[in-house]
Amino acid sequence: MRFISLPLSPAIFVEFGAAGEGSSWDSPLGSIDEALTLAAGEPAEIWVKEGSFRRTDGTPAVTLTPGIKLRGRFPREHVGMSATRSPPFIENTVQTRLLGGSGVELFAQHVVVMADDTVIDGFNIWNGRATEPEPACGGAACAGGILVGGAKRVVIEDVKFIFTTAESRNSDAMGGAVYVGAGGSASIRSAYFAIASATAATGYMALGGAVAVVGGTLSLDGTNGGSDFGFFGSTTAQGGNGGTSDRGGDAIGGAVGCSGGSLNITRFSFGGVSARGGDGAAGGIVAGKVRNGLPGGAARGAAIGMIGCAFSANGIFNSDSFSDGPIATGGRGGHGGASQLAGTQGGAGGVGGAAEGGAIYSSQNLSFSIAGNSLEGFELNGIARGGKGGNGGPSSGSAGKGGDARGGAFYVENAPGGVASAAAITFNGTVTAGLAGEAAAPTGSSASGGLAEGGCAFKVCQVDGTYVCATGSQVDSLSCELN
């Protein structure tokens, strides 16, 4: 096995279950908690051998204090002061795992909680499941993996996230794996996100299936010694269904969602990512009146969804970026309520949810640029599918309109200066308008399907470079809206 070596420096040594005093691998402490106690609130390096750790009481596996650098992947056979450790990811047979729980235990709301000037490097984060409102996330369920919150100058490096979710019971859901909040700043380097999701409660919004940035600053950099180790796979943002009385919740950013913050991405790929709006509530009888079905939620940006952010991709996404067709799907409109009185009309079906930006959605961003000469030949793929309208309620309820679909690959509006690019981008996009619901017999009115606009991209302003559509209609630059 090829090993890499850290600069030799004073460190606190940990091997899970040991009983030493932490001065070397020959006498390691038995837990990260003991190492943090020994550090006594001061900055320190903590090195952890391969192994696994979980709590069973629902509390985080690790809560760091300011200045701590926590590093894993040290082989079990180490002795003395050895500073060598296993390389990350593909070559890695030595794993240091922090787990949030299992099916018979309480799941940790967050597996790791960061603080100012902290580093976590060389860990696998498993089974984090955030379900409760988190004050650090504005009351949303968030960060099943790592909570950055308002912590500053955080580094997350060579970390693999597996089965991390935010599953809200009564609020928005944000960042199944990582959440960066107002005033927080973090750099995520060479990370791997697999099977992460944000699923909102009834009628609520989901932001960032894997990563959410709300008022903070985040850099995602997939480069690692010339190799690409930045990957989002099987990540989903799911808006809350309407239950009995709500419209479907919106889903923004199936992999990465940003609201009011700053986001920079370099060399990350996205495979099997999706965003889906929640289904609208069906109508019923309320206070003796027949109720219409409610609208489905919108889906915006199956890979990246942004509202009011500063965004840049300086340098290419890697060659496989967006290769596995990110899909944004609007929620279905709720069915109209059934009439229970002769001669009265059933409720109308709800409108299907819109789908905007099959791969990338950007609205009201402070800035937006994709730049770098290495963008030559970059392809941006995506699918936007409007939600189906709800059926009219018996009898004679009108059908709900299908949801609109805009920008199969790319949707950008209200971006100061438009979209800047230094080289050609090829869009491979598909838009599919939502079907109308079915009208109820005998006299219910039919409805139209949704609009399908911008098969490749919608509302894109060309500032520099060349934009080419490979499928569908041409880039819509005439309706571009600039501040």
What tens digit of pLDDT does each residue of 217-264 get? 999 988 765 555 678 889 999 999 999 889 999 999 999 999 998 999
Domains identified in the chain, total number: 1
Rounded Cα distance, 396 and 418, in Å: 47
- pLDDT tier at 335, thresholds 50, 70, 90: very high
Rounded mean pLDDT, 71-93:
76
| Burial zone of 415 (CB within 10 Å; 0-12 exposed, 13-18 middle, 19+ buried) | buried
* Residue 388 domain-assigned (yes or no): yes
Rounded Cα distance, 427 and 410, in Å: 8
* Residue 40 domain-assigned (yes or no): no
- Confidence at residue 420, expressed as pLDDT on a 0 to 100 scale: 55
Name, of 60-64, 361-365, 371-375, the range with top average pLDDT.
Answer: 60-64
Rounded mean pLDDT, 283-306:
89
- pLDDT tier at 143, thresholds 50, 70, 90: very high
Rounded Cα distance, 161 and 147, in Å: 13
* Residue 50 domain-assigned (yes or no): no
Please answer whether residues 115 and 68 qualify as being in contact, where contact means their C-beta atoms are separated by less than 8 angstroms.
yes
Q: Which residue has the higher pLDDT, 191 or 97?
A: 191
Lowest pLDDT segment from 86-90, 277-281, 405-409 = 86-90
Q: Which residue has the higher pLDDT, 429 or 23?
A: 23
* Residue 85 domain-assigned (yes or no): no
* Residue 75 domain-assigned (yes or no): no
Which residue type is seen at 457?
A
How crowded is residue 420: how many other Cβ atoms within 10 Å of its Cβ? 17
Q: Is the pLDDT of residue 342 over 60?
A: yes
Longest dimension (CA), the chain: 88
SS3 content of the chain, % helix, strand, coil (to 5): 5, 40, 60
* Residue 188 domain-assigned (yes or no): yes
- Confidence at residue 292, expressed as pLDDT on a 0 to 100 scale: 93
* Residue 426 domain-assigned (yes or no): yes
- Confidence at residue 375, expressed as pLDDT on a 0 to 100 scale: 42
- pLDDT tier at 376, thresholds 50, 70, 90: very low
Residue 403 in 3-state DSSP?
coil
Name, of 225-239, 261-275, 374-388, the range with top average pLDDT.
Answer: 261-275
Q: Which residue has the higher pLDDT, 263 or 420?
A: 263
Strand partners, 453: 406
| Burial zone of 220 (CB within 10 Å; 0-12 exposed, 13-18 middle, 19+ buried) | buried
Helices (H) and strands (E) counted in the chain, each on its own, are 1, 49
Whole-angstrom CA distances from 308 to 204, 317, 413, 414, 476 are 19, 22, 11, 9, 21
- Confidence at residue 481, expressed as pLDDT on a 0 to 100 scale: 40
DSSP letters, 203-241, are T--EE-SSEEEESSEEEEE-EETTEE--EEEEEEEEPPP
Cα dihedral 21, 24, 25, 28 in deg (nearest 10): 10
- pLDDT tier at 135, thresholds 50, 70, 90: very high
Q: What are phi and psi of 106, to 5 degrees?
A: -70, 135
Q: Which residue has the higher pLDDT, 368 or 175?
A: 175
Rounded Cα distance, 291 and 468, in Å: 46
- Structural domain boundaries enclosing 131: 97-469
Lowest pLDDT segment from 156-165, 367-376, 441-450 = 367-376
Please answer whether residues 172 and 159 qualify as being in contact, where contact means their C-beta atoms are separated by less than 8 angstroms.
no
Q: Which residue has the higher pLDDT, 405 or 473?
A: 405
Please answer whether residues 328 and 385 qualify as being in contact, where contact means their C-beta atoms are separated by less than 8 angstroms.
yes
Average pLDDT, the chain: 84
Rounded mean pLDDT, 96-105:
71
Q: What angle do CA 271, 276, 280 make, to 5 degrees?
A: 170
Please answer whether residues 214 and 259 qualify as being in contact, where contact means their C-beta atoms are separated by less than 8 angstroms.
yes
Q: Is the pLDDT of residue 425 over 70?
A: no
Lowest pLDDT segment from 188-202, 276-290, 385-399 = 276-290
* Residue 55 domain-assigned (yes or no): no
Q: Is the pLDDT of residue 482 over 60?
A: no
pTM (predicted TM-score): 0.91
